A = this chain, B = another copy of it.
Amino acid sequence: MSKGTQTRDMIIARSAQLFNRQGYFGSSLSDIMRETGLEKGGIYNHFGSKEQLALEAFDYAFSLVQQRVQAALKDKKNAVDRLLALIAVYQTLIDDPLVAGGCPVLNTAVEADDAQPALRARAQNAMDSLQAMLQRIITKGIALQEIRPEVNVEELTTLLIASIEGAIMLSSLYQDPKHIHRVSSYLTHYLETEVRNR
């Protein structure tokens, strides 16, 4: 791996932390310079604009989450177990953060308004893939009779994502993991008693 690529990756990794903590607007190039130890020219050798860097940093942050999810799902076969593992992963985003500042998708979704269409599209894509994964697990679980047939796939998908993301927001706001723990606890109980086919 070349020196340049190493530097480039370092910039992305450090910036991703910054953007997730302070937001895209809230992070200046000076912040990025300080965090990376590079001068402006050194950064602009690798990225044509701050926005391009932001897009790549978001992709990187989301990919970190995805990797942790993949690892957690690897040895889980049962659909409900897979959902529980996914919930657990999101809980670790607070308890043992990959990227400080909460969930990158949530943060970006809230910050990216109509004036940041590229960033918003990135957040939508990330959310799309998250939703698709959940729907796949649930649908397959129904087919395999691991999940009760009367479960509404889309409603459950949305409930899981919404309640988890909302809980992450609460725990970030109060800097207290109890909110994500409570929601995790509720969802776990719900999945076991109302969703799992026994």
Q: How many copies does the complex hold?
A: 4
In the assembled complex, A162 has its CB within 8 A of some CB on chain B: yes
**A102 to B: closest C-beta gap in Å:** 8
In the assembled complex, A173 has its CB within 8 A of some CB on chain B: yes
In the assembled complex, A167 has its CB within 8 A of some CB on chain B: yes
Which B residues lie within 8 Å of A158 (CB)?
167, 170, 179, 182-183, 186
Which B residues lie within 8 Å of A81 (CB)?
none
Chain A contact residue count (CB 8 A cutoff): 40
Interface of A (DSSP majority class): helix
Which B residues lie within 8 Å of A113 (CB)?
21-23, 26, 101
Which B residues lie within 8 Å of A164 (CB)?
162, 166
In the assembled complex, A163 has its CB within 8 A of some CB on chain B: yes
**A155 to B: closest C-beta gap in Å:** 5
Give A116-130 as 1s and 0s: 1 = Cβ < 8 Å from B's Cβ atoms.
Answer: 000010011001000
Known: A120-B173, A163-B166. A155 touches B186 (CB 8 A): yes
Which B residues lie within 8 Å of A102 (CB)?
110
Give A151-177 as 1s and 0s: 1 = Cβ < 8 Å from B's Cβ atoms.
Answer: 000110011011111110110111000
In the assembled complex, A1 has its CB within 8 A of some CB on chain B: no
Which B residues lie within 8 Å of A173 (CB)?
109, 120, 123-124, 127
Please tell me which one of the listed residues B26, B107, B166, B186 contacts residue A166 in the complex, with CB atoms under 8 A apart. Answer: B166
A-B contact pairs, 26 of them (CB 8 A): A23-B25, A23-B113, A26-B111, A106-B169, A109-B169, A109-B170, A110-B169, A124-B174, A127-B170, A127-B173, A154-B182, A155-B185, A155-B186, A158-B179, A158-B186, A159-B182, A159-B186, A161-B170, A162-B162, A162-B169, A163-B163, A163-B183, A164-B166, A165-B170, A166-B167, A169-B169
